[in-house]
Structures are given as C-alpha cells and as structure tokens.
C-alpha cells in the first residue's frame, strides 16, 4: 500500500507568521492523525479525524492551530500566528490497512517547522 | 488513560554488545504495545508490536520485546548491537475503544560505539 505523503518537508518562518502543512494519508483509510514532535520529546497527538469529522482535538491549541480534512482524504494543518514554541516536526499518520483495529500507525516523514 | 515511561533518555553500547531499552506502561485494560524507531530526519518506523498474542515478540532488524504483565513492562532487546542501530526509539501504548490513539514515551536515544 502507498505510504503517507506530507509537504513541505521543511519550513522556516518568523514568529507571528502563518504556515500550513498538507497530508495525504494511506489510500482509502478513514482515520487520520496529526502529531507534534518537539525536539527531544515523543510525538504528542494534536488531532484525530474519522472521515471528515473530528474525533479528538483536545490537545490542539485552538487559538492558533486549525485542521481540516476535506472530502475525507487530504488534510491540512494550519498555524496562525506561529510562536517560537511551535518549532517541531509535524507528523501525519494513518492506521495500517492490516492492523487498523490495534492502533498501529504508519507515519509520514514529517514536516519540520522552525520559528525564528 | 494510558501512558508509557521510558527509563533512560540516552543509552550507549559498544558494537556487538546487548541492547536493552526499558519501557513501562500504565493501562486500565490489556494494552496494545509498540516500539517505533526514528532515524535522523525521518518519520517513525514500526519495529514490533504486542497485540495480546505471544508475549515474546520478534521484530525487524533482530529486535525483540517481552510483554510482562506482572511488571507492566515491555523492554526492547537485541543480542548484538550494530552501528546501524543508532537511532531514537519510542515505546507507545494504544488506547481502547474506537479512538485507538497511540500515546508515546519520551524516547531513548541509542548510541552505538565502535
């Protein structure tokens, strides 16, 4: 099965600017996750989608972060305005087709954000 | 809620030596447990998983882990380290129900010395 595609791989912006990250998950899978991985830490869940709907966004800083999943396929994660502490790798993930009921995830390579 | 604790943020071993990376979990129900590896500037790759079948789980690249319910542990081992094993390793636990979210530990950076 095809993997999870993310873009851009790298982005450098100044604080208070905006940025958007794109994810195309494993084909045909209803569930999609966005994780934030700060340097030296484990990934932290930001938001979980099931088709077009949000299942869990309890850890998403909604004053500056937003995410959408149009037509239940691609997803976009936006940050506006960015803060220094948003510097991190943003990972998109889908359940693997063979193990979708265990929580096992397949991750994209991530989008590395540096906020100056 | 479930959680994992990885003991030791940095582990160094000599090439050919035993690798032991520690992970303890907390879960109110029988968990699903995972080890992921992350090489520099890459995404997370699944090493192995425990999904309530055999308690000794074998993964890729010669790694294995043993689920010990009495100790709430899922330590990762490899008998003989290779230079290519240098990477960051994350233990993760899966939640229950329809959410099935992965919760990660803080990671262990493995250095392999020549």
pLDDT tens readout for residues B23-69: 999 887 778 899 999 998 888 999 999 987 788 999 999 999 999 99
List of chain B residues whose C-beta atoms are within 8 Å of the C-beta of residue A7: none
Task: Indicate whether B86 pLDDT > 90.
Answer: yes
List of chain B residues whose C-beta atoms are within 8 Å of the C-beta of residue A105: 44, 102
pLDDT, greater one: B11 or A2:
B11
HEC readout, B6-38: EECCEEEEECCCCEEEEEEEECCCCCEEEEEEE
The pLDDT of A59-88, averaged and rounded, is: 94
Distance CA B28, CA A9 (A): 38
List of chain B residues whose C-beta atoms are within 8 Å of the C-beta of residue A104: 32, 34, 46, 49, 94
Tell me the nearest-neighbour CA distance from B21 into chain A, angstroms: 15
CB contact under 8 A, A103 and B106: no
Contact in structure between A97 and A2 (CB atoms under 8 Å): no
CB contact under 8 A, A45 and B45: no
- Residue from A25, A98, A61, A10 nearest B41 by CA: A10
CB contact under 8 A, B32 and A103: yes
Task: Indicate whether B95 pLDDT > 80.
Answer: no
| Cα A23-A28-A34 angle, rounded to 5 deg | 30
Number of residues that this document lists for chain A: 116
Tell me the nearest-neighbour CA distance from A92 into chain B, angstroms: 9
Chain Cα centroid distance, residue A64: 14
Tell the residue number behind the tokens 């010669």, with chain if given. B62
- Range with the lowest mean pLDDT among A7-16, A51-60, A90-99, B46-55? A90-99
Q: Give the per-residue pLDDT at B57.
A: 94
Contact in structure between A37 and A89 (CB atoms under 8 Å): yes
Number of residues that this document lists for chain B: 114
Q: Does B34 touch chain A (CB under 8 A)?
A: yes
CB-CB: which of A44, A103, A107 is closest to B100? A103
Q: Does B94 touch chain A (CB under 8 A)?
A: yes
Q: Give the per-residue pLDDT at A99.
A: 58
Tell me the nearest-neighbour CA distance from A25 into chain B, angstroms: 14
List of chain B residues whose C-beta atoms are within 8 Å of the C-beta of residue A95: 100
């Amino acid at each position: 099965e095809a993997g999870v595609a993310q873009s851009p791989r790298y982005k450098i912006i100044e604080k208070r600017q905006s940025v958007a990250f794109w994810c195309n998950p494993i084909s045909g899978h209803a569930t999609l996750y966005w994780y934030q991985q700060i340097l030296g830490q484990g990934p932290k869940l930001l938001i979980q989608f099931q088709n077009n709907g949000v299942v869990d966004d309890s850890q998403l800083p909604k004053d500056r972060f937003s995410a959408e999943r149009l037509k239940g396929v691609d997803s976009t994660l936006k940050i506006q305005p960015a803060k220094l502490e948003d510097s991190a790798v943003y990972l998109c993930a889908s359940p693997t087709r063979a193990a979708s009921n265990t929580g096992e995830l397949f991750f994209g390579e991530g989008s590395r954000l540096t906020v100056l | 809620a479930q959680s994992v604790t990885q003991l030791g943020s940095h582990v160094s071993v000599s090439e050919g030596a035993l690798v032991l990376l520690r992970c303890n979990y907390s879960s109110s129900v029988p968990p699903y447990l995972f080890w992921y590896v992350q090489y520099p500037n890459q995404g997370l790759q699944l090493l192995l998983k425990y999904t309530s079948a055999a308690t000794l789980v074998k993964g890729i690249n010669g790694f294995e882990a043993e689920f010990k319910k009495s100790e709430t542990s899922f330590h990762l081992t490899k008998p003989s380290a290779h230079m290519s094993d240098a990477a960051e390793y994350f233990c993760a636990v899966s939640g229950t129900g329809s959410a099935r979210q992965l919760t990660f530990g803080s990671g262990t950076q493995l250095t392999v010395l020549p």
